């Protein structure tokens, strides 16, 4: 199976010798940076009220992100760059509206770096997560769902991509190995739900959990940063996943049309509402359970990341998070 996820994630660039000295999460007000490396996450140009140019950038590494500002006087000292590039910057760390911001006086593209410094990775043991996936597949009783899952999860190339894939570009499980971590979170939750609601079709729900984000393999890619592909923007991971699964089902003789439709509804409905990106609503008990299990895993992971990232703040509350639509209490 082809995927937009890049070849296995390399940990170093070619001939890497320059070591990164400071990480985003370790920065403090009044730090002075000299030829420090960051990945470019976002770039936006603007003008002050007086009509002077400036450039806002979001810089990142494996520990998090930090804002950067290039004022008009320093723009000539900064090389043109683009999102996804690794750059070296010099400047001064200050504060703007309660958050750190680097005033950048020099920026250039960098080709000599350790890629592992810029790609966040799950802290969990991927092989142990993979064992949970395999155990759940073995417990599937439906011969059609088991054949579908085996065709995918027995393929060595697919397995490696699935183990490395992030689950998102920015919000939840947005790191190498994030997808398998998210899926295993959901498998554990789904098995608990099935214990309390035995009338649910376990084979359908577990298959839906394992396959619900398969489109992320096409939607997201890994370079110097995790980024969204063209097909990710134009199609999105729910339709991409449904297309991938539909093609795989076509290879299986006499796959029941009703089982096919219920599984595809799980995939397309797992964001629950049309305004959240689902082209259809969940229309089985299993699809409805799947949507809420997915949301719980995503929201708790987002909350954990938010608290962890801001736990050293002197404030009582985190910044407001747009995905959670609230602040979180830190004490």
Predicted local confidence at residue 5, as pLDDT: 54
Q: For 131-181, how does the pLDDT look when each residue is reduced to its tens digit (9 = 90+)? A: 999 999 999 999 999 999 999 999 999 999 999 999 998 889 999 999 999
Predicted local confidence at residue 10, as pLDDT: 45
Predicted local confidence at residue 52, as pLDDT: 93
Domain with CATH 2.40.50.140 in the chain: 24-117
Structurally, what CATH architecture does the domain formed by 126-307 represent? Orthogonal Bundle (1.10)
Predicted local confidence at residue 310, as pLDDT: 77
CA-CA-CA-CA torsion sign (272, 273, 276, 278): positive
Q: Are 179 and 210 in contact (CB under 8 A)?
A: no
When the pLDDT of each residue in the chain is averaged and rounded to a whole number, the result is 90
Predicted local confidence at residue 311, as pLDDT: 72
Task: List average pLDDT for each run of 10 residues in the chain, which is 331 residues long.
Answer: 45 53 89 93 93 94 92 94 93 90 95 89 95 97 96 95 93 93 98 97 98 96 90 95 96 96 97 87 97 96 86 79 86 77
Structurally, what CATH architecture does the domain formed by 24-117 represent? Beta Barrel (2.40)
Predicted local confidence at residue 22, as pLDDT: 87
Domain with CATH 1.10.3210 in the chain: 126-307
Predicted local confidence at residue 11, as pLDDT: 42
């Amino acid at each position: 199976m082809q995927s937009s996820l890049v070849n296995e994630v390399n940990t170093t660039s070619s001939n890497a010798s320059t070591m990164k000295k400071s990480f985003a999460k370790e920065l403090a007000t009044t730090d002075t940076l000299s030829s420090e490396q960051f990945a470019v996450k976002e770039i936006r140009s603007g003008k002050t009220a007086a009509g002077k140019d400036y450039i806002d950038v979001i810089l990142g590494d494996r520990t998090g992100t930090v804002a950067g500002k290039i004022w008009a006087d320093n723009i000539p000292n900064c090389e043109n760059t683009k999102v996804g590039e690794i750059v070296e910057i010099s400047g001064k760390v200050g504060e703007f509206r309660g958050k750190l911001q680097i005033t950048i006086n020099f920026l250039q593209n960098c080709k000599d770096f350790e890629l592992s410094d810029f790609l966040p990775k799950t802290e969990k043991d991927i092989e142990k997560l993979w064992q949970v996936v395999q155990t759940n597949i073995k417990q599937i009783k439906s011969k059609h769902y088991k054949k579908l899952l085996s065709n995918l999860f027995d393929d060595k190339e697919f397995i490696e991509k699935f183990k490395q894939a992030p689950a998102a570009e920015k919000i939840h499980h947005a790191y190498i190995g994030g997808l398998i971590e998210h899926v295993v979170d959901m498998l554990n939750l789904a098995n608990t739900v099935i214990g309390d609601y035995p009338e649910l079709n376990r084979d359908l729900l577990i298959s839906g959990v394992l396959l619900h984000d398969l489109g992320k393999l096409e939607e997201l890619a890994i370079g110097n940063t995790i980024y969204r592909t063209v097909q990710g923007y134009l199609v999105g991971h729910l339709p991409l996943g449904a297309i991938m699964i539909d093609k795989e089902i076509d290879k299986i003789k006499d796959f029941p049309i009703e089982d096919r439709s219920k599984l595809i509804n799980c995939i397309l409905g797992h964001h629950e509402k049309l305004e959240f990106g689902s082209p259809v609503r969940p229309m089985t008990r299993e699809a409805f359970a799947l949507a809420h299990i997915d949301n719980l895993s995503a929201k708790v992971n987002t909350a954990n990341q938010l608290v962890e990232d801001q736990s050293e703040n002197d404030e009582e509350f985190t910044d407001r998070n747009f995905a959670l639509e609230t602040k979180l209490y830190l004490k």
